[in-house]
Amino acid sequence: MPLTVQRSGVIESARYRQVLGQYPTGVVVVTALDAAGTAVGMVVGSFTSVSLDPPLVAFLPDKNSSSWRSLRESGDRFCVNVLAAAQEDVCRAVATRKTDKFHDIGWQPSPQGNPIIDGAVAWIDCVTEQIHDAGDHDIVIGRVLDLDLGDGEPLLFYRGGYGSFMPHSLAAGDADLLDQLRRIDLARPHMEGLADLFGTEVTAITLVRDELVLAASAGRTELAASPTRVGQRLPFAAPLGSCYAAYGDAALRERWLSTISEQLTPEQLERLREVPDTVRGRGYAIALGHSELSDLERISTLLHERAPDVSPETLREAMARVTDGYNPADPIPADVELRSLSAPVFAPDGTVAFTLTVWGPAEPVAPEEVTRYANALLATATNATRAIA
Ligand SMILES: Cc1cc2nc3c(=O)[nH]c(=O)nc-3n(C[C@H](O)[C@H](O)[C@H](O)COP(=O)(O)O)c2cc1C
């Protein structure tokens, strides 16, 4: 469809943000030490390489930013830290705190003495070469003095949300996913509250056509198989995504089972037929056993990365191997390894908009602890349902 071109002398700020927000960026933290030796820093999306010879980079700070003032007053040296996909919390902390931004963020001094944030995927030490005036922003040109790589994938920022790079993860046709991402963002404070309560990770998983897409995450668990789960995709097939089957119609339940039925024994199939009602009765889905289920997560990640010896068939076989860990009938055994609990968040039309998953601790938990997780999860899902209404 051709773009409609409107010409008008006035550019509304909301329109400006909306249109320019179509352009994704990475996220860096520009750091320095102030005169007292305290780390100062600013989250910046407007970072770019400028010139190779001489080596120059640039970023564009808001003239009114107090963080920029602190950086500027600290001297002419600064370090650009490219944040990793798992460092959304670092980004939020540095962007929102006014003072003592680094009190719980680990860092090492760069050759120029500026903070290099632990876990950054790259750092670039600079000396300010020029500062240009540009409307309500400055354009800071830095000459690169030193630079190096860390590990991992970078954090990305797009339309007000965070993510990580995944080839074709927002391919044409994923318009549904974009709608879901907007809804999930409304539920984000509730996800963060739950993640804080248990010191773990809370993820939002949505069904896009025939795939379960891990669309957002809050907090962290050391049990994750990869640094960020965001972007992971798994087939919508038993035993995964049981909340969707639980609240879906007969056709959806059938689709949930038929995709994997060839890999299942008749006994497994029989048991899985009961699962949607079990989940609906409890109000949540439960998954037990860390090593088995992290193996499944590992295989799905390999498939996504197009590892040569992993096929969709390998993944379905792995799913069939772990069905017993999902949604066992009552009573749930004592001292289990609680992998995760998932509950539905409903759209205004009563369908499941997305599911929230809270990830359990490494050590086995008593039944009362499972109940505590379940109650907190259900309360969070109810609040999220209200938030998106
Ligand atoms: C992802 C992200 C990218 C940002 N990019 C810029 C930027 O390019 N330039 C800028 O001036 N502020 C940027 N900000 C905002 C600043 O980091 C900072 O939060 C803002 O200036 C707050 O004002 P303060 O420095 O007075 O606390 C960005 C914030 C986020 C979360």
Q: What is the predicted pLDDT for the residue at 105?
A: 97
pLDDT of residue 312: 79
The answer to whether 154 touches 84, Cβ cutoff 8 Å, is yes
Q: Rounded to whole angstroms, how far apart are CA atoms 371 and 155?
A: 35
CATH number of 173-388: 3.30.450.40
**Distance from CA of residue 13 to its chain's centroid?**
28
Position 84 scores a pLDDT of: 94
| Domain boundaries for CATH 3.30.450.40 within the chain | 173-388
Strands 233-235 and 285-288: unpaired
As a whole number of angstroms, the distance between CA 199 and CA 18 comes to 34
Our answer on whether the CB atom of 158 is closer than 6 Å to any ligand 1 atom is no
Nearest CA to ligand 1 atom 23: 65
Per-residue pLDDT at 220: 81
The CATH number that domain 13-156 falls under is: 2.30.110.10
Q: Is the CB of 153 under 6 A from ligand 1?
A: no
pLDDT in tens, the chain (389 residues): 556 666 667 888 888 988 898 899 999 999 999 999 999 999 999 999 999 999 999 999 999 999 999 999 999 999 999 999 989 999 999 999 999 999 999 999 999 999 999 999 999 999 999 999 999 999 999 999 999 999 888 999 987 788 887 654 444 346 677 788 888 989 999 999 999 999 999 999 999 888 898 899 888 877 665 556 787 888 898 999 999 999 999 999 999 999 888 888 888 899 999 999 999 999 999 999 988 888 887 787 777 667 778 887 888 888 888 888 999 988 888 889 999 999 999 999 999 999 999 999 999 999 999 999 999 999 999 999 999 99
Longest dimension (CA), the chain: 72
d(CA 112, CA 126): 8
Mutate to test the pocket of ligand 1, among 31, 42, 88, 94 (most ligand atoms within 8 A of CB): 42
Residue 61 CA: nearest ligand 1 atom is 11
Q: Among 25, 43, 139, which is best to mutate for testing ligand 1, by the most ligand atoms less than 8 A from CB?
A: 43
Distance CA 262, CA 240 (A): 16
Residue nearest to atom 18 of ligand 1 (CA): 95
Residue 90 CB–ligand 1 contact under 6 Å: no
State residue 69's pLDDT score: 98
**Is there a contact between 254 and 242 (Cβ–Cβ < 8 Å)?**
no
Q: Kindly state if the Cβ of 67 falls inside 6 Å of ligand 1.
A: yes
CATH 2.30.110.10 in the chain is located at 13-156
